[in-house]
Structure 1
Amino acid sequence: MSRLCERCAQLLQDFVNCVRRLSAAIMEHLKECLSALSECCCLNRRRSRVRQLYEPVLLSHERKAAQEFLKHMETGIHKSLVGKESLHAMTVLAFSEVADFQESAAMYYVFLNQNLHTQLPPEFLEPYHPLLQSSDTVVQQVASSSLLHFLLEGNVSKELIVQVGLLEDILEMMESGDPVVQYNSCSCIMTLAISESNREAIRNARGIVPLLALAKSYEPRVQQSAVGAILNLTRSEKIRGILCQEGALPVLTLLLQSADSEIQYYSCASLSNIAANQEHHKAMLAIGDKFLLRMLVSLMSSSVQKVSSQACLCLNNMASSAEVRVDLLHMDIMPLVLFLLNSSNKEVRQASITLLCTMSHSPGNLDALLCEELLQHLAMLMRMDRANPVVVIHATCTIQNLSRPETIEIIVGSQCFEELLRSLLDPNKEEESLQYVATCLAELAKSDFTRKQLIKRKDEALMRCLVRLAARLEHRELSFQAATIIKYLSHTGRIAVDLKPFMKDVQAYLMNFLSHPELRFQQMGIATLRSLCEDPEFSEAITHGRLKEQLEQVRQQTEETQALLRTVISQTDSLNLKE
């Protein structure tokens, strides 16, 4: 079973606690109710004369089922919770027109909720149809509650619920005037909508409009479950478009102002999923002249951490547009983002660094003073979450985005630069994190100032690390970026001294680069060799080694390619002249 979210887990726990408190009373009630009903000869007082002629046959059949059910509960229930006898009796009682009989069948499902620890047999879903369609509100309440419990516990396959046609019954219950029934039906849809196939089935069954209607309910729990169901539906791109067409955006935006933090969270997360597609941004920004942006910025300061985190993530999706980034800067969002970087909550820190990374793209108006303050906060975060790849990757990308001629010295002089180097040297770092760190350092190494600072360090561990990473051609991009840093450093003419202890390893990775099928690797190898050959020892080693042969082979291939190109260009020019 898919892992439940915090909201659903709490809902399930509340339900289980309630059932446990009532379990003894439920069994007693079932026995008393069925016993009395089985002996009663007049269950419905207001019947027509024609109807009364039919009653004895029907009631006799139902009384017999009730007696069998009662007998089974007293003698055989502990042997078989879901046996043929109980199924037959439940089916008869569930299809009865007598509300008390139906209620007894529904109550047995509640008993199963507490005692069944395996999958509910598919045939036991059949009695749910008449129970969910019952005209008796109590029957609908009890039946829908037990079905919800089965779904949350995983005793019933979510796909099977749709296959046997119970989805339509659940959707019809949304139109009930009873808030308990509405809540249970929305919660069932929320649980069913976890899978893509079920989301499609809900869409085809026209379940979106009723959910939007209940999202405006005055009952907080109904509203909460309806918006939770909408959130799971927004995981489908097709349904996002339909939601927008059906007017979901104004509804979800207004719900951001709800006093219920769960409703705020579900609404914010739904909008975040919708905002993942830039095609919806225009409609989202049109609501109340960018009212949505102002609400999301306000929710960043929420005391409920998951709401604050989700607001950052929604803004991050919106900020993929340069126009939105400018609007957010005018709303003075940066102090809020920097404040959240120091949050005690991991999810908030991750969400805020993700938003900061997006905001650091141009256009921006980050002056040197703000850049320096930003780097201070960023360095603190990188120290706190060194092992968190989400933080490492987004912090690294942020530094790279901030890298401009006027900010290079500020970056290299900051603690962030030290954290980048520390990350590169960390043997436990994942390949993806190392790739982003190496790419950022390669970008910084384009500057003379950065190269001078790195050469001054005479850091043997750093040189060894760069050579080792450059040799890891199985991780192609990481290898290329590490080699790029070495190439930039070799431009100074002084790095050869620091590389001499690893001369054989340098030659080995350069040999692999020269024989690599990608042209950029060959060019990188040639450019690095050209710089290193200025050192006599490297020049001697290259001249009398396999690298010389490989260079000659590359030269011949290049000449052959150039000759072919000249031939093709000449033929093309001739054809053009004839035309």
Structure 2
Amino acid sequence: MASGFCENCSRLLKDVAVHLRRVCREFGQKISDVFRELSQCTCIRNTPDRSFPRRKTTLHLLHDHETQLLNQESLQTLSRLAASEKPDLQMTAAVYYLHLSHNLTSPLPDAFMEPILALLFSSDLDVQKTISLSLVNLLVKNNVCKELAIEMGILIPILELFQSGDPTAQCHSCACVAMLASSESNRDALMVDGIIPLLVLARSYDPPVQQSAAWALLHLTQSDWSMRILCQAGTIPVLVLLLQSSDSEVQFYSCTALCNIAAVQEHHPKLLSIGGNYLLKSLVTLMSSSVQKNSAQACRCLQNLSKNVLIQEQLMELDCVLPLKTLLKTSTPVWTKSALTLLSALSSHPPNNEALLNEGVLDVMGHLLHHHCSSSVIITHSSKIITNLSSSCMGQQAVMETQCLSGLLGALVSPALSDETLMLVTSCLHNLMTWDPLKSKLSETVTSEQVSGLVKLSEQTGNLQLSYNCAVIISKLEMTGEIIQLLRPHYITMSEYLLVFLKNKDVKFQHLGIVTIFNLKKDGDFSTLLANSELEVQLWKVHAQTEETRRLLLMIQPISPSCLNP
């Protein structure tokens, strides 16, 4: 996968960076005083290496310029401090790295990674916590090459910190694993020894530890291979249990990880093998969360699972429609789209439709069409849902009582919609107009601007099917006085596209042209325009061809249909 992060992950990493900066701020404020005192302390003189100049122990930390922070003298000093057996000297180097990680704006030179590795192997837990926090900060800011860190063997002491029993150390180590896992080339190495310790920490009762472990597991689900290993190692039950966490971030990480797993259909049996529909119940409950990002993520996970008809039926039994309707009313388009996509899948299964209609789904669709008339995704799914739900008399009546018709007509004049979306809108309108009450309702509802939009789309030759759909809608308009007034300004344009239809070799276009002309001739003005026009000449040509075809068929005495279908 690409090394870039999606919008959610970028936001999460920024949150972590803010948290780390907050943790480091106190160090940053005190660091000058601390090292000024360290430089005066006599214990520094007790280093076994007598060539170690005392003045270097300050490491020039009073300077913030990166060329001074990262010069060769600093590297030599850090290496000696890290190799010392004295915890206080090791801590000097660890705090230096903490200061460095907080202020560095350029990549850390590869040579400076060696002291970090040595400090991670320290026997002093405080040193390990400080240097691991520094490493997290460097990884978050992309100051360290993740691949190089793995090659150096940095994963070994990081994974050992899992077993330290110290919540702070475990948080730091989980964060390191999560950041290292964000590089696809590192995931294989992380899988070997990292999964079981992560699963143990995910069950921790300490919220920060649980959060860090869930975050690390999430990153490991971004590769098909590592995802498969995770599933084999028993990660799914752990992630499902984390959905019940009292921490909203843990819920989000675990739900996102499950969403990634659910996107691969081969994992569905394991996801659904937990008894009593436990996963589905947990996700439906999470959809009702007051934390909307969690609601939306649960919806996406259910959407990935809903390709199975049996699962759709189970979701309907679990009353999933109410939280979906709540999501549809949010002001965040990406969450609205998640709910619409799942509803579209549910409405494609006819046995679900009565329940969806009873829940007032079409009323919500009408509202969405009026408030998101420029969103292709929302209009696309809304059109599909309306088409699916209007297949019954109950659904057609519901369309009559909602804003669906006016919303679909309004979408026709939106300049932001693609031809593909307009195809779905016009197909939906065409389908609705096969029912006489809806045809009358549409004829009463359509506006001058919408008629102009239909005519404009009917005359385009780049997309014949879209042109056909729009012309069908026009042909079905009831020629009332109001409709005639709306159509009259467009008679010349309509004559032009009707001429194209009559010349088309496809019989359905010819038939549509004839039906439309028959309807328009109810207005004397159009009859006058038609007289002696090229359109009328072409109409007689089609008539003559049809008569010739009929005469030829009579000559050969075509086989009776009953002979073809005994």
Question: What's the TM-score, normalizing by structure 1?
Answer: 0.79
d(CA) in 1 for partners of 2:281 and 2:105? 49
* Residue equivalent to 2:50: 60
* Residue equivalent to 1:567: none
* Residue equivalent to 1:290: 277
d(CA) in 2 for partners of 1:512 and 1:172? 76
d(CA) in 1 for partners of 2:145 and 2:539? 63
1:29 is aligned to 2:16: no
* Residue equivalent to 1:89: 77
Question: Does the Cα contact within 8 Å between 1:252 and 1:271 map onto a contact in 2?
Answer: yes
Residue 183 of structure 1 is aligned with which of 161, 166, 171?
171
SS of alignment partner, residue 119 of structure 2: helix
Q: Calculate the aligned-residue CA RMSD, in Å.
A: 3.8
* Residue equivalent to 1:119: 107
The change in CA–CA distance for 1:338 and 1:22 in structure 2 (over 3 A counts) is same
Cα deviation, residue 251, structure 1? 0.7
Cα deviation, residue 239, structure 1? 2.6
Question: Does the Cα contact within 8 Å between 1:542 and 1:548 map onto a contact in 2?
Answer: no
* Residue equivalent to 1:418: 406
Residue 238 of structure 1 is aligned with which of 225, 246, 252?
225
Larger mean Cα displacement after TM superposition, 210-219 or 290-299: 210-219
Instruction: Within 5 Å, give how 1:437-516 maps onto structure 2.
Output: 437-457=425-445, 459-471=447-459, 476=463, 480-487=465-472, 489-490=474-475, 501-502=489-490, 505-506=493-494
Structure 1: runs of 5+ lacking an equivalent? 44-55, 556-579
Residue 9 of structure 1 is aligned with which of 5, 8, 14?
14
Cα deviation, residue 402, structure 1? 0.9
The change in CA–CA distance for 1:249 and 1:523 in structure 2 (over 3 A counts) is farther
d(CA) in 1 for partners of 2:105 and 2:382? 47
d(CA) in 1 for partners of 2:472 and 2:110? 67
SS of alignment partner, residue 256 of structure 2: helix
* Residue equivalent to 2:553: none
SS of alignment partner, residue 421 of structure 1: helix
Structure 2: runs of 5+ lacking an equivalent? 522-526, 547-566
The change in CA–CA distance for 1:267 and 1:500 in structure 2 (over 3 A counts) is same
* Residue equivalent to 2:255: 268
How many residues are matched?
529
Question: Does the Cα contact within 8 Å between 1:455 and 1:489 map onto a contact in 2?
Answer: no
d(CA) in 2 for partners of 1:40 and 1:507? 100
Residue 104 of structure 1 is aligned with which of 82, 88, 92?
92
Cα deviation, residue 88, structure 1? 2.0
The change in CA–CA distance for 1:351 and 1:79 in structure 2 (over 3 A counts) is closer
Per-residue CA deviation, residues 32-87 of structure 1 (Å, 9 max, x unaligned), is: 4465476443x6xxxxxxxxxxxx5xx335x34x6434364468968622112112
Question: Does the Cα contact within 8 Å between 1:442 and 1:481 map onto a contact in 2?
Answer: no
SS of alignment partner, residue 120 of structure 1: coil
d(CA) in 1 for partners of 2:539 and 2:42? 96
1:19 is aligned to 2:9: no
Per-residue CA deviation, residues 380-413 of structure 1 (Å, 9 max, x unaligned), is: 3433444444433332222122120412243144
* Residue equivalent to 1:358: 345
* Residue equivalent to 1:308: 295
Per-residue CA deviation, residues 412-438 of structure 1 (Å, 9 max, x unaligned), is: 442122111112222344555444433
Partner amino acid, structure 2, of 1:17 = R
d(CA) in 2 for partners of 1:132 and 1:286? 41
d(CA) in 2 for partners of 1:11 and 1:198? 21
The change in CA–CA distance for 1:27 and 1:410 in structure 2 (over 3 A counts) is same
The change in CA–CA distance for 1:446 and 1:280 in structure 2 (over 3 A counts) is farther
SS of alignment partner, residue 378 of structure 1: helix
Residue 68 of structure 2 is aligned with which of 59, 80, 105?
80
Question: Does the Cα contact within 8 Å between 1:131 and 1:143 map onto a contact in 2?
Answer: yes
The change in CA–CA distance for 1:164 and 1:281 in structure 2 (over 3 A counts) is same
Partner amino acid, structure 1, of 2:50 = S
The change in CA–CA distance for 1:432 and 1:149 in structure 2 (over 3 A counts) is farther
The change in CA–CA distance for 1:379 and 1:199 in structure 2 (over 3 A counts) is farther
Partner amino acid, structure 2, of 1:323 = L
